Structure 1
Amino acid sequence: MKTKLIRIGNSQGVRIPKPLIEESGITDEIEMILRDNEIVLRSAETTRKDWDEAFENMAEEDDDGLLDQKEIEGPSEWDETEWTW
């Protein structure tokens, strides 16, 4: 589908046909990404969609621990060499 840029104040915009908006799930807020000389528009709501559910599942399966727990619990090299008690 081809379309033309339209002037909106000092900027330019694109009219998106209603069927494309409905099919894409885009609502009031969108996210714009420039990728490989392409402008990608997507619904901002989908960026972190279902994260709450994913975190709950991780907690239920005891998979929500820190990956570097051992490293952060003990003293660092700086603590051992630079810190004066």
Structure 2
Amino acid sequence: MAYLVKIGNSRGIRIPKLLIEQAHLEGQELKLEVLNGGLFIAPINEPRKGWAESINTLLACHGEEVIDSEWLDAELTVDDESEW
């Protein structure tokens, strides 16, 4: 069970530790949404957060990938006798 507590002029939600652990909310930035007359609480999911920095770091360390132009310039062929 969670409880509302007064925090200045606002209210906060006191959520039991077990629920926080089960929902993986510890240390997460949360989004709140009113849903079906209730309050939905979930961590903000940013699956690609940090990708640009990681790519730039890899490029700085290893340089850009060499393009295999032999395959890019190869003619496309059709093998009608293949069975799938």
TM-score normalized with structure 1 length: 0.48
Greater helix proportion: 1
Greater strand proportion: 2
Structure of larger gyration radius: 2
